[in-house]
Amino acid sequence: MSAAGLAAFDLTGRRALVTGASQGIGLALATGLAAAGAEVVLNARDAGRLSAAAAGIAGARTLPFDVTDRAGVTAAIDGFEAAVGPIDILVNNAGIQHRAPLQDFPPEAFDRLMSVNVTAVFTVAQVVARHMIARGRGRIINIASVQAALARPSIAPYTATKGAVANLTKGMATDWARHGLTCNAIAPGYFDTPLNAALVADPGFSAWLEKRTPAGRWGRVEELQGAAIFLASDAASFVNGHVLYVDGGITATL
């Protein structure tokens, strides 16, 4: 690739807000975006854990808020834009999981999953997008899941939320592309993260996953960084409404 082509991936001068960034995939994505030149702003609810995470990324800022609190989201983002400057890239990563047989699934757990995994994606994107629309540019990356396309026992509500994220992403692109925004999603397969700690610790599940996945292993969170850099950069200027599966081939085969 020519130097000009590589320059399209450079995020120098851009600012990226990553939700759920104190650990796991969110922290890995923030680290990758920073390595590509972006100034990163880490979000989570726990200010202490957030500060500890940001200490490992040169120049990182923190912006604590609860993604399920619309008033708090609005105050934090509007205040940041006014005091510091524009958010050029949003990575909607915050999410939770709850496992139980569907017939026994607690209604309050279902509601919580929808609030964090779906409603918060809408809320944070809408608040950030209003500023992006006014500037005529912006990048939104929502974190979906391989469960947007596939289901497994005990996680039907989670599967529903990630399917919603995938289609909400397409809706965002449909409404906002005309304003200069690109809105895409990354759908990770099975990655070794705190959210999957119980599965990683289960030898039977890991053996099943290694057999089921063409790559034959769990994903490493660093392997999601390239997809995020691409979708955040000028190299993806005409990529919109796309769900990019990063899954070691698990959705490609039966």
Q: How far apart are CA 120 and CA 118, in angstroms?
A: 5
> Across residues 18-23, what is the average pLDDT?
98
Using the predicted structure, report yes or no on whether residue 87 has a pLDDT greater than 70.
yes
Band (194; pLDDT cuts 50, 70, 90): confident
Residue 243, pLDDT above cutoff 70: yes
With a threshold of 0.75, does the pTM exceed it?
Answer: yes
Q: Which residue type sits at 163?
A: G
Strands 89-92 and 181-188, by their bridges, are: unpaired
In whole angstroms, give the CA distance from residue 28 to residue 242: 21
245 is catalytic: no
Domains located in the chain, CATH noted: 3-248 (3.40.50.720)
Q: Are strands 61-62 and 89-92 parallel, antiparallel or unpaired?
A: unpaired
Q: Which of 80, 110, 158, 230 is an active site residue?
A: 158
Q: What is the pLDDT, as a whole number, of residue 196? A: 87
Alpha helix stretches (DSSP H) within the chain? 3-7, 24-35, 47-54, 70-83, 107-114, 120-135, 156-176, 197-200, 203-212, 225-232
Residue 185 has pLDDT above 80, yes or no: yes
| Cβ count near 56 (within 10 Å) | 11
User: From CA 82, how far away is CA 144, in angstroms rounded?
Assistant: 30
pLDDT of residue 234 exceeding 90, the answer is: yes
pLDDT tens column, 98-147: 999 999 999 999 999 999 999 999 999 999 999 999 999 999 999 999 99
Task: Look up tokens 């500060």; give the residue.
Answer: 51
Q: Which tens digit of pLDDT belongs to each residue from 36-84? A: 999 999 999 999 999 999 999 999 999 999 999 999 999 999 999 999 9
Q: Which amino acid is at 174?
A: T
Query: Percentage of residues in the chain with pLDDT exceeding 90?
Result: 94
Would you call 92 exposed, middle or buried from its count of C-beta atoms within 10 A (0-12, 13-18, 19+)?
buried
